[in-house]
């Protein structure tokens, strides 16, 4: 009989040892953290305790009107909609002046200008923009900026961050003996501990405020080449889970730098030199208050009213390579951090760091003869910058402030290069055909036209490509009979590096895994030379991967500084701001628009806080944990579906027998498999219809352990083909899943088995009461699954993926009914494309036509942590 029970022979831990070393290392990242607190001096000492701020809105809250200066809740809500949803000033005025509109709604404004007067009257927690003038070599430019100290105060002193602020450095360890160091938030890195130690020696009681700056020039128009050059700022005292979400408002637009192109200058080198000095001059003026404040400290109150002596210190500069070399002053093709020669960038070798003292000595020759200054800068390997902005900043080594960056260095750097190299190595048609034949999964994007036609690929799209890249080339033949082993190893290594670099927590051991991935890539990269794709690997972004391990130890994990966060801010602070102007002399309009939007958002926060009883902010940094790991729709997709329909439309060929076997197992937990089969064969089910659900949602978080990936949801589909609202036929979809066979480990695939879900169903309540007699809890939802083979003890040595086949006996697929709670998550499978002999494989039929698959551990971050 072609079905089985969950009492199959267990997978022993000696059988499944794939990547056991890595699993043990990662298990420590999820467990208890042992903390060493900073005890030298009196770090984070409290000076006084003031009354917590009230947002500054009490002046308008007269007569019990929390919405003042607006007259009512409706008056305020309409104003908020106008300011946040973006209708133009003229459109707003036209709407408000529709006869009777403002009067019937009881609005206190009837034009856009009168609304602006009310908004301008609202207090702001953030400083206003100023217009500054800078002159470089007789050229005058204008910069719009905010005073940085009030900006720091606005973030540090915001009430909603008060419960989450970090005031002291810590050392985290994975073991009680403090031998395995761990890194995550900025305060767990070596930088904060080092700075705190220096401050405590000079003046005990300091509170460090790490200043994180991000600059990135961006296009604000599709045509015409209009650009904005925003400078964003945040502070490392705010946890990274808050900083990375724009909705929390933990990033401040500090300035718009000039974007003049100086096209009237015919000398290109002179033009570049002036533009570089403009940037440094602007930033030097903007950051100048950090000099005294960083050294001496200033009293500053956090959102709970507690005052400390705070030292805002420039800590990190998160930007792309072009901004990095502009910041440091090195030349194109050089490393901004170390002294590697440009022709050795492809070496897997460390070089000495740039020497700040010698560089400052060269820069200080600015007051000597110009020729001497130029020669001194040339000798030390930097451009002749007139007083770079970081020159006088206390405790600042700019070369160590340059952060590693997932977006520009990996996704838009090495993954982009790797994808293009693979495109050059193989036939475009074959690559695209394989893309189109990959089975669907909730985490994997389907490239319906393949990947070769794509242009202007974003970082998010490159990550989507990385999820499937290895599976596309596993069995593709290289030209001239060249072995593809090194290509597979190099691809696997770079994908490992990407996924490991994204970890939100690292240890000295896991950083060893990161280094190993980089070493494996360098060991196998010569395959691209053999293919004639590359002549060398002198790529600055490839070389910078050498610095990732030290960067994480110094400043914390890379999700502290990912420029994906500030790229998202471009929409609000650059593109939307520009769209709200008349496109003439736009910067004054953009800054005013932003100030008004910030006031509206802050007033909205205040009103929400006030209406909720003026309670303190709690847990804004933590995602809501669901009450159950599994979420089902309130009602079934189909009610009373017969067994015949499940067989014909869902492919659940042995649904009745499988249910009978599960009931027998549930009622007789100590019986042998043969005894259970005998009981099942004699069982007559008192029902022939069940309620069917076409999807189930699974939470991938963990209730007890520290996560290594986002607490996201995973969706499993099991639905037959159907017609959509347009009358077109939509193919069936039956996802593959990972099933816990009752003895699974928390990390790795031991104790799990792959299966394809053919149906998700619920037994009618009255029928369930008839078939279950024991006191063992009854499952509410079930899944009919078809099994794949058990996992091998080790993955493939070249690409590192496990192979799978369907479990078939006498041409019948082995199936079972299991409680849906046994399903851990969905899995994505790569077909073994070289087994296809003359068949047409598509995403909708490949799971039925293909006989051999590979388990994709790159479908999402959770899969990478658990399926390798």
Cis peptide before 762 (omega within 30 of 0): no
Q: 36 or 265, which is more confident?
A: 36
Pairing state of beta strands 306-318 and 206-215? parallel
Q: Which two tokens stand for residue 38?
A: 């900073």
Is pLDDT above 60 for 545? yes
Q: Report pLDDT digits (tens) over 44-68.
A: 999 988 766 555 565 555 557 899 8
Question: Cα separation of 861 and 227, whole Å?
Answer: 35
| Residue ranges per structural domain of the chain | 20-29+626-866, 62-121, 130-329+385-403+561-611, 406-555
- Nearest 5°: the CA angle 538, 470, 414 is 25
Residue 274 CA from chain centroid, whole number: 36
Residues 783/759, Cβ–Cβ less than 8 Å = yes
Question: Cα separation of 272 and 328, whole Å?
Answer: 15
**pLDDT score for 618:** 64
What is the average pLDDT across 439-451? 96
What is the average pLDDT across 778-796? 95
Residues 334/540, Cβ–Cβ less than 8 Å = yes
Mean pLDDT of the chain: 92
Tokens 């395959």 found at = 527
714, 817, 720, 816: which is closest to 763 by C-alpha? 817
Q: 471 exposed, middle or buried (CB, 10 Å; 0-12, 13-18, 19+)?
A: buried
Q: Report pLDDT digits (tens) over 66-116.
A: 998 999 999 999 999 999 997 889 999 999 999 999 999 999 999 999 999
Alpha helices in 20-122 (DSSP H): 20-29, 73-85, 89-96, 101-105, 112-121
Query: Can you point out the beta strands (E) in 466-580?
Result: 506-507
Question: Cα separation of 97 and 111, whole Å?
Answer: 7
Question: Cα separation of 291 and 282, whole Å?
Answer: 15
Q: 839 or 399, which is more confident?
A: 399
**pLDDT score for 13:** 28
Residues 256/228, Cβ–Cβ less than 8 Å = yes
Tokens 């194109």 found at = 332
DSSP state of 344: G
Pairing state of beta strands 733-734 and 713-719? antiparallel
Is the Cα torsion angle 356, 360, 363, 368 positive or negative in sign? negative
Q: What is the rounded (10 degree) CA torsion for 719, 805, 864, 438?
A: -50
DSSP state of 185: S
- Nearest 5°: the CA angle 539, 543, 548 is 140
**pLDDT score for 626:** 79
pLDDT band for position 773 (cuts 50, 70, 90): confident
**pLDDT score for 703:** 64
**pLDDT score for 11:** 27
Q: Which residues contact 774 (CB under 8 A, 6 or more apart)?
A: 666, 667
Q: Report pLDDT digits (tens) over 665-686.
A: 999 999 998 999 999 998 899 9
Half-sphere exposure at residue 774, Cβ-oriented, CA atoms within 13 angstroms: 12
Q: 170 or 682, which is more confident?
A: 170
Question: Cα separation of 101 and 74, whole Å?
Answer: 13
Is the Cα torsion angle 527, 529, 531, 534 positive or negative in sign? positive
Tokens 């002294």 found at = 339
Residue 43 CA from chain centroid, whole number: 32
Q: Which two tokens stand for residue 699?
A: 């939470």
Q: Which two tokens stand for residue 164?
A: 């989450």
Question: Cα separation of 41 and 36, whole Å?
Answer: 15
Q: Which of 97-106, 278-287, 563-572, 774-783 has the lowest mean pLDDT?
A: 563-572
**pLDDT score for 55:** 56
Is pLDDT above 80 for 437? yes
Pairing state of beta strands 689-693 and 752-762? antiparallel
Question: Cα separation of 281 and 284, whole Å?
Answer: 5
Q: Which two tokens stand for residue 514?
A: 């990161």
């Amino acid at each position: 009989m072609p079905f089985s029970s969950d009492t199959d022979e267990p997978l022993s831990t000696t059988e499944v040892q794939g990547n056991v070393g890595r699993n043990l290392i990662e298990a420590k990242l999820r467990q208890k953290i042992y903390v060493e607190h900073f005890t030298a001096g009196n770090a984070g000492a409290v000076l006084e305790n003031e009354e917590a701020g009230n947002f500054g809105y009490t002046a308008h809250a007269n007569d019990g009107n929390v919405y003042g200066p607006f007259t009512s809740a409706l008056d305020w809500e309409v104003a908020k909609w106008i300011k946040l949803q973006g209708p133009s000033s003229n459109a707003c005025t036209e709407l408000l002046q529709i006869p009777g509109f403002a009067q019937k709604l009881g609005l206190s404004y009837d034009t856009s200008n009168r609304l602006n007067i009310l908004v301008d009257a609202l207090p702001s927690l953030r400083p206003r923009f100023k217009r500054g003038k800078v002159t470089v070599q007789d050229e005058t430019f204008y910069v719009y900026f905010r005073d940085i100290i009030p900006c720091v105060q606005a973030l540090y002193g915001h009430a909603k961050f008060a419960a989450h602020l970090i005031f002291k450095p810590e050392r985290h360890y994975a073991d009680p003996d403090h031998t395995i160091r761990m890194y995550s938030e900025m305060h767990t890195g070596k930088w904060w501990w080092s700075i705190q130690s220096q401050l405590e020696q000079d003046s005990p009681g300091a509170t460090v405020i790490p200043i994180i700056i991000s600059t990135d020039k961006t296009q604000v128009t599709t045509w015409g080449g209009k650009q904005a050059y925003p400078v964003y700022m945040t502070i490392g005292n705010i946890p990274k889970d808050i900083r990375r979400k724009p909705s929390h408002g933990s990033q401040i637009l500090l300035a718009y730098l000039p974007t003049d192109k100086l096209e009237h200058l015919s000398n290109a080198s002179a033009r570049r030199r002036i533009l570089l000095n403009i940037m440094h001059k602007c930033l030097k003026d903007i950051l100048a208050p950090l000099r005294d404040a960083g050294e001496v400290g200033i009293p500053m109150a956090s959102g709970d009213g507690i005052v400390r002596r705070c030292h805002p210190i420039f800590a990190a500069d998160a930007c792309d390579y072009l901004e990095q070399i502009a910041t440091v002053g090195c030349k194109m093709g050089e490393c901004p951090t170390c002294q590697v020669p440009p022709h050795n960038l492809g070496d897997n070798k460390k070089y000495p760091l740039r020497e700040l003292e010698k560089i400052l000595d060269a820069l200080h020759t600015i007051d000597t003869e110009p020729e001497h200054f130029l020669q001194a800068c040339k000798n030390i390997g930097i451009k002749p910058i007139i007083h770079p902005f970081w020159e006088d900043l206390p405790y600042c080594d700019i070369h160590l402030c340059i952060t590693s960056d997932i977006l520009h260095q990996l996704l838009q750097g090495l993954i982009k290069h790797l994808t293009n190299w693979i495109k050059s190595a193989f036939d475009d048609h074959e690559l695209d055909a394989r893309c189109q034949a990959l089975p669907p999964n909730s985490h994997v994007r389907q490239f319906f036209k393949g990947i070769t036609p794509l242009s202007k690929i974003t970082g998010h799209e490159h990550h989507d490509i990385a999820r499937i890249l290895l599976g596309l080339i596993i069995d593709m033949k290289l030209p001239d009979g060249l072995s593809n082993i090194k290509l597979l190893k190099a691809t696997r290594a770079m994908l490992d590096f990407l996924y490991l670099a994204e970890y939100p927590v690292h240890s000295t051991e896991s950083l060893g895994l990161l280094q190993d991935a980089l070493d494996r890539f360098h060991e196998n990269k010569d395959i691209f030379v053999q293919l004639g794709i590359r002549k060398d690997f002198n790529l600055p972004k490839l070389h910078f991967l050498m610095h990732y391990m030290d960067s994480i130890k110094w400043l914390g994990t890379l999700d502290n500084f990912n420029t994906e966060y500030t790229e998202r801010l471009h929409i609000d602070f650059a593109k939307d701001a520009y769209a709200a102007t008349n496109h003439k002399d736009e910067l004054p309009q953009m800054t005013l628009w932003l100030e008004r939007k910030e006031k509206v958002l802050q007033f909205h926060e205040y009103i929400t806080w006030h209406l909720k009883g003026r309670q303190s902010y709690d847990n804004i940094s933590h995602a809501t944990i669901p009450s159950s790991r599994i979420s089902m729709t309130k009602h079934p997709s189909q009610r009373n579906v017969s067994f015949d329909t499940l067989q014909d439309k869902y492919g659940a060929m042995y649904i009745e027998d499988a249910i009978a076997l599960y009931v027998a197992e549930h009622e007789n937990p100590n019986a042998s498999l043969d005894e259970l089969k005998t009981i099942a064969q004699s069982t007559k089910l008192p029902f022939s219809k069940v309620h069917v659900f076409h999807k189930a949602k699974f939470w991938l978080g963990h209730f007890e352990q520290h996560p290594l990936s986002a607490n996201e949801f995973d969706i499993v589909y099991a639905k037959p083909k159907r017609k959509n609202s347009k009358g077109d036929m939509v193919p069936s979809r039956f996802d593959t899943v990972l099933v816990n066979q009752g003895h699974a480990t928390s990390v790795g695939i031991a104790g799990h088995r792959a299966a394809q879900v053919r149906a998700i169903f619920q037994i009618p309540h009255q029928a369930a009461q008839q078939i279950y007699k024991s006191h063992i809890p009854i499952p509410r939802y079930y899944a009919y699954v078809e099994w794949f083979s058990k996992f091998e003890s080790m993955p493939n040595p070249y690409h590192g993926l496990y192979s799978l086949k369907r479990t078939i006996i006498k041409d019948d697929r082995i199936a079972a009914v299991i409680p849906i709670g046994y399903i851990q998550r969905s899995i994505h499978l790569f077909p073994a494309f070289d087994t296809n002999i003359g068949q047409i494989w598509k995403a909708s039929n490949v799971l039925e036509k293909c006989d051999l698959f590979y388990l994709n551990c790159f479908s999402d971050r959770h899969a990478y942590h658990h399926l390798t």
